[in-house]
Amino acid sequence: MPMFTYQNGVLHAEQVSLAALASQHGTPLYVYSRTALEQHFNAYTKALGEWPHLVCYAVKANSNLAVLNVLAQQGAGFDIVSLGELERVLAAGGDPKKIVFSGVGKQAHEMARALEVGVYCFNVESEAELERLSAVATERGQVAHVSLRVNPDVDAQTHPYISTGLKDNKFGVDINEAPRVYAKAASLPGLEVKGVDCHIGSQLTEIRPFLDALDRLLVLIDTLAEQGIIIEHLDLGGGLGVQYRDETPASAEEYIAAVKARLGERRFKLIFEPGRSVAANAGVFLTRVEYLKLNDHKNFAIIDGAMNDLIRPALYSAWQDIKPVVENSDAPLRTYDLVGPVCETGDFLGKNRDLALSEGDLLAVMSAGAYGFVMASNYNTRGRAAEIMVDGTQAHVVRERETIASLYAGESVLPAN
Ligand SMILES: Cc1ncc(COP(=O)(O)O)c(C=O)c1O
Ligand SMILES: N[C@@H](CCCC[NH3+])C(=O)O
């Protein structure tokens, strides 16, 4: 059920008017729906049912503490890629024993902290990383549980910047090399092999590429069994897409049913690492029209939100729906480019959008809950937006707007000579 709906001509998050939130807290503003987060997460756990599983929300998609806390309360595990994400999960009340640690560039101190708190598994991406992890664990007198992130060389048929399972991508260990690298992992003193992992890309709308990858992993798992290496869990990563425009992505239910059917009697514990499919359609980004600039050949609506707040349109030419928060029946309908105040031609949130706008109108960029705030920067010395979590009729500020002074705190000028 969608949690962002018009009620009496005003867009609401659950039962809270987005116009009221913008007046109270200012713009630009991120607003999340607790109920939507819970529903999207629970779509995975419900579909998995009795099958042994762990759903590890990919923290990178939206790492706000309140988001992590809401999911932790639903029993979520977490997929992390840095020490920062690890500390966020712990601060939000997440269970370290449900954390998988992914990423190609884990540093020794990050491994040590993850071992200290007892994460569930390291998803190791190279031979060199295996050696480092074994050394760090041995020095601490511990044994690290590992999966190898295998690169199955399948085409995820998504944007090249978010495709990760091809030979050309930096991620994972070549599937043809995997039996040898697993043998090495099994021989290293500080490691215990637990699983096989892959993640082939993001915003996948078809199930086919996931199943192609799964088929290849199952062949690998059989080869490993012949080598005496027995796998306990299978981590299929994240990647399930969402509807931004007219995509018709497979649902978590369909995806998981297809995976279960493929596994048949092989009841490995299944791990999923969804990010976007949990968070994207649980959030919107609110921005206000500052100026209308009407030219002969092009109309611009200059808004107070920019590429530093939401970079997906600039970076991937991503299309996200943009809706008026309050329907404006007085203004003429025109075609606008929605551009921010940042000094870059690429600073737009939408192009060629048909909207009836007046100065001061509020707009909602939809599907902004994933890869939105987390990718925000302070470019042009702009403070990052505040974040609000709506829960039924209540709205909570879950991150305050950054003050300008905080943007140069910690910097200093050279001493006078
Ligand atoms: C290893 C890993 N797991 C999970 C995710 C989450 O992906 P998505 O947000 O597409 O579900 C990513 C990002 O693509 C990733 O790199
Ligand atoms: N940031 C990307 C997704 C990256 C996936 C992370 N591996 C996006 O907004 O679509």
pLDDT tens, residue order, the chain (417 aa)? 789 999 999 999 999 999 999 999 999 999 999 999 999 999 999 999 999 999 999 999 999 999 999 999 999 999 999 999 999 999 999 999 999 999 999 999 999 999 999 999 999 999 999 999 999 999 999 999 999 999 998 877 666 655 665 666 677 899 999 999 999 999 999 999 999 999 999 999 999 999 999 999 999 999 999 999 999 999 999 999 999 999 999 999 999 999 999 999 999 999 999 999 999 999 999 999 999 999 999 999 999 999 999 999 999 999 999 999 998 888 999 999 999 999 999 999 999 999 999 999 999 999 999 999 999 999 999 999 999 999 999 999 999 999 999 999 999 999 998
**Domain at 103-272: CATH code:** 3.20.20.10
Long-range own/partner contacts, residues 218-227 (CB < 8 A, 24 or more apart): 218/262, 218/263, 218/266, 220/150, 220/175, 220/178, 220/179, 220/196, 221/196, 221/268, 223/179, 224/179, 224/182, 224/196, 227/179, 227/182, 227/183, 227/186
Integer Cα distance of 357 and 344 in angstroms? 23
Position in ligand 1 atom list of the atom nearest CA 241: 10
User: Annotated binding site for substrate, which residues?
Assistant: 276, 312, 316, 344, 371
Position in ligand 1 atom list of the atom nearest CA 202: 10
Position in ligand 2 atom list of the atom nearest CA 312: 9
- Adjacent-strand bridge partners of 301: 292, 338
Integer Cα distance of 170 and 128 in angstroms? 14
Phi-psi sector, 228: left (phi>0), alpha (psi -120 to 50), beta: left
60 CA to centre of ligand 2 in angstroms: 9
Q: What superfamily in CATH does domain 4-32+280-407 come from?
A: Lyase, Ornithine Decarboxylase; Chain A, domain 1 (2.40.37.10)
pTM as predicted: 0.97
- Please state at what angle helix 178-187 crosses helix 127-139, rounded to 10 degrees: 10
The reply to whether ligand 2 has any atom less than 6 angstroms from the CB of 145 is: no
Residue 209 contacts residue 157 (beta carbons within 8 Å): yes
**Which tokens belong to 81?**
């890629």
Cα-flanking dihedrals φ and ψ of residue 15, to 5°? -100, 15
**Three-state DSSP class for residue 191:** strand
Q: Ligand 1 pocket by C-beta < 6 Å: which residues?
A: 58, 61, 79, 102, 164, 199, 202, 237-240, 273-277
Quote the DSSP letter at residue 115.
H
Please determine whether the domains at 4-32+280-407 and 103-272 fall in the same fold group of CATH: no
* Closest ligand to Cα 161: 2
Is 198 noted as a catalytic residue in this protein? no
* Domain map (residue ranges) of the chain: 4-32+280-407, 103-272
Q: Which of 161, 242, 367 to mutate to test the pocket of ligand 2 (most atoms within 8 A of CB)?
A: 161
